[in-house]
Amino acid sequence: MNFAAWTPIFFVVIVLTLGSLGHLATHRVPYMPKWAWAVLIVVGMPIGALVYIAVVILGSGVQRQDAEGRNIE
């Protein structure tokens, strides 16, 4: 097995995981508590990091409204 061929894949997985955890530590997140997102990111590596990116980072542009019609974060 050629480990040199797998090195870029391992690097991308580590960068995705650490980047997601860094974003999680510094931003407010919807849908679940931060500890649950952290468990999902670490245990479900790299799928957990991709889910976090798709739901939280890419989905953050969606404007939601409260009961009175005001936009909320």
Structurally, how many domains does the chain consist of? 1
Instruction: Provide the residue count of the chain.
Output: 73
Domain ranges, residue 47: 3-72
Strands in the chain per DSSP E:
64-65, 71-72
Question: Contact, 7 vs 1, CB < 8 A?
Answer: no
- pLDDT tens digits, 8-46: 999 999 999 999 999 999 988 888 899 999 999 999 999
Does this model's pTM top 0.85?
A: no
